[in-house]
Structure 1
């Protein structure tokens, strides 16, 4: 395991992606930054963090063993690894807000950005960017955000939290290699935020509708039970779940 520690960088994912184009990158190469000037989230959103208070890192994983059509299992394994790690620090009421935001007490504490490297229709590698709110106490204009410190009152050692997350990533990616797809999917679905509860969604056109989250498809689409008992699938670009 190679860990590259940086003081400040635009984005750990961008840095690792650029590095992979310049040299051979070994499996489990990790880039950690004290501060990101242009942290990125899903669908072009930004990730804002206080300097040296939180964990911002990216992991390079070799995933050529995984069929391209199973690429969402990277997201599943990553989400489960983070939750299992945070359980070890006694963080309460953890859930996954589809596809891979991590919530505690209904507040967002962690975001994940996954960028796959695909060559000739085959998965080769993935870069997993993780932003975890650890010791930050002030979230101006972000009422849905929280941190491990705010949730528990404790100050956490960033290196220790990183170590436990990386251990769990190894564990869950080994399950992927063993093709334990159903086991991973079942566990992920059991942790879905607002599963089987009446929820409000917004579609790509900005219209709101109601439904019940039931499950996910093997490709990672969200399966929502609508009125008249219609089960409909949505991908990430088609729908967002409102809190």
Structure 2
């Protein structure tokens, strides 16, 4: 199987690396492992239709074409868990400590967001055609647009400036290791690894559902990717159903 990050295509400016990668995959011009890196992204997208704002030339804006055909469609979250863990490995190498994955797939340093992941799956019935994995990581940016919640970059954490293209290729290596583990070890291991780095796991937090705010303890995430919590009873929440109150 091809290696994640090969071929590696640099784009000067694009609306969305995910859009570009999706089009290339549909046209048969990109297969498993292909990576598309943008120096500037004008209409980046995040989870639940949110906009991903980032400064040109300063960050990692990367989309990958993956074909996890061996994984059952019902196990989609395991791919997300593996990708999140790979991003965690990459950031932790430089930030050293206080790195975590905030459910479902934001990359956090302490209580600040260093990056995010957007996976768009293309399915035909029960067959997984391919997945477009979009990753945005704040590398050298130090000034962020208003309305961006608690952002942080690797430069702010370490005081150093990094070469973004080389860093993106290193990120691909980290992702490859977690991707290999996804298919070589029991699936439970990938889920356990994800839960071991889950933000606020075992801690009491405030969650908001609709207009109600309540306290609960984060237990972990299950095989379906639902957040599991406990207070007066055990609860589970789907993506977009609750948000963390900070």
Question: Shorter-chain TM-score category?
Answer: over 0.9
Say if 2:194 is the partner of 1:191. Answer: no
Displacement, 1:225? Answer: 0.7
The CA RMSD over aligned residues, in Å, is 1.3
Aligned to 1:200: 206
Displacement, 1:139? Answer: 1.6
Aligned ranges for residues 143-158 of structure 1 at < 5 Å?
144-158=150-164
Aligned to 1:45: 50
Aligned to 1:232: 235
Query: In structure 2, what is the Cα distance between the partners aligned to 1:196 and 1:19?
Result: 42
| 1:120-147 Cα distance to aligned partner (Å, 9 max, x none) | 1222211100000000011243350010
Displacement, 1:175? Answer: 1.1
Say if 2:223 is the partner of 1:218. Answer: yes
TM-score normalised per structure 1: 0.95
Displacement, 1:237? Answer: 2.6
Work out whether residues 59 and 137 of structure 2, in 8 Å CA contact, stay in contact via their aligned partners in 1: yes
Aligned to 1:57: 62
Match of 1:241 among 214, 226, 244: 244
TM-score normalised per structure 2: 0.93
Displacement, 1:3? Answer: 1.5
Count residues in correspondence.
240
Structure 1 stretches of 4+ moved >3 Å: none
Work out whether residues 91 and 151 of structure 1, in 8 Å CA contact, stay in contact via their aligned partners in 2: no
Work out whether residues 17 and 134 of structure 2, in 8 Å CA contact, stay in contact via their aligned partners in 1: yes
Query: In structure 2, what is the Cα distance between the partners aligned to 1:153 and 1:162?
Result: 19
Query: In structure 1, what is the Cα distance between the partners aligned to 2:188 and 2:25?
Result: 32
Aligned to 1:178: 184
Aligned to 2:124: 119
Query: In structure 1, what is the Cα distance between the partners aligned to 2:20 and 2:137?
Result: 18
Match of 2:13 among 5, 8, 20: 8
Say if 2:82 is the partner of 1:82. Answer: no
Structure 1 alignment gaps of length 5 or more = none
Work out whether residues 95 and 157 of structure 2, in 8 Å CA contact, stay in contact via their aligned partners in 1: no
